[in-house]
Amino acid sequence: SHPVHQPETRTAGANMYCLDSDNQTPVHLAAQNNHQEVLKTFLKEEGTLYKNRLNILHMAATVDDSELAQLLLKNGASVDATDEKKQTPLFHAVSGGHEATVKVLLEAGASIDSTVKLNLCELGKLEAAQAVIEKEARLDIRTPNLNTALHLAVQRGDVSITKLLIRKGMNVNITGTGDQTPIHMAAFHNKPEMIDVLIEAGANINAVTKESVTPLHIASQRGNLDVAKCLLRHKANVNTKDKLSKTPLHLAVEGGFNVKNIPVLIQYLINRSL
């Protein structure tokens, strides 16, 4: 008996990732029509053909095709397979902010590395962040410049993720680059709504960096009027000096940022220092 003829994908060079006029690949079509045997063939073929290429699961993660991801995983795709940059499907799903696919990958047991968690907090994807943080307890991971997930969420002005991280036990006064705490980040990035959240959670309003700079120094220097008002409302020390013996008033006068705010800001600082 003659063996069933198999399409010579390898020698003929047929491309599993080729798009048709509806932007569908043969893999998509196999998944949509529930051709599980065909999918298995593609996955097996991929193992030998596309060692150094973005694999099918990475592709599904990149375009947020959670149904395709689910089918691929069910048919033996490796959840933690890495591409040529050593990145996993979860990394691609998180980077795109694709919450549905993130959940599918996590349910399939995807490993969570620090980049994934930090990306989620920076991108502000609450549901995906919740899923990751619930699954993985370590919160003390840092970016190369020493900032934490909390610093990134505050920098973005993301109240929900900030509250989630604090609720999960993150230290609200944790230090990052140059000993900056999250409240310093809120002052620098002009996020007045974050000041209230952080102070309510126990943030030190007069926390100092390595240069003895407080959040009020930063807000004053940058002309971030709403943040400065918020800090002053919470009784920030208006006469504190940094390592160069400068007060927030000195920095407001010489700042040069948000010039239109400076006269009002200076008036506020003078009134509070009297």
Residue 17, pLDDT > 80, answer no
**How many residues are present in the chain?**
274
Q: Where in the chain are the domains?
A: 6-138, 147-274
If you count DSSP H runs as helices and E runs as strands, how many of each does the chain have, helices first? 17, 0
pLDDT at 262: 86
Specify the fold of 147-274. Answer: 1.25.40
- Distance from C-alpha of 126 to C-alpha of 99, rounded to nearest angstrom: 9
pLDDT at 230: 96
What distance lies between CA 157 and its chain's CA centroid? 12
pLDDT at 19: 54
Best mean pLDDT range from 53-57, 58-62, 123-127, 234-238: 234-238
Return the axis-axis angle of helices 262-273 and 225-233, rounded to nearest 10°: 20
pLDDT tier, 213 (very low <50, low <70, confident <90, very high otherwise): very high
pLDDT at 175: 93
pLDDT tens, residue by residue, 155-180: 989 898 899 889 888 899 999 989 99
Q: Sign of torsion, CA 59 63 69 72? A: negative
Cβ neighbours for 61, distance < 8 A, ≥ 6 positions apart: 69, 89, 90, 92, 93, 96, 98, 101, 105
pLDDT tier, 221 (very low <50, low <70, confident <90, very high otherwise): very high
Count of CB atoms within 10 A of residue 258's CB? 13
pLDDT at 200: 96
Specify the fold of 6-138. Answer: 1.25.40
The answer to whether the 6-138 and 147-274 domains have the same CATH topology is yes
What are 156's two structure tokens? 């973005």
pLDDT at 201: 97
pLDDT tens, residue by residue, 230-262: 999 999 999 999 999 999 999 999 887 888 888
What distance lies between CA 98 and its chain's CA centroid? 12
pLDDT at 274: 56
DSSP state of 238: T
pLDDT tens, residue by residue, 82-137: 887 888 898 888 888 788 898 899 888 888 876 777 776 766 667 777 777 766 65
pLDDT at 228: 95
pLDDT at 9: 42
Q: How far is CA 59 from CA 54, 83, 107, 171, in A?
A: 7, 10, 18, 37
- Distance from C-alpha of 232 to C-alpha of 272, rounded to nearest angstrom: 8
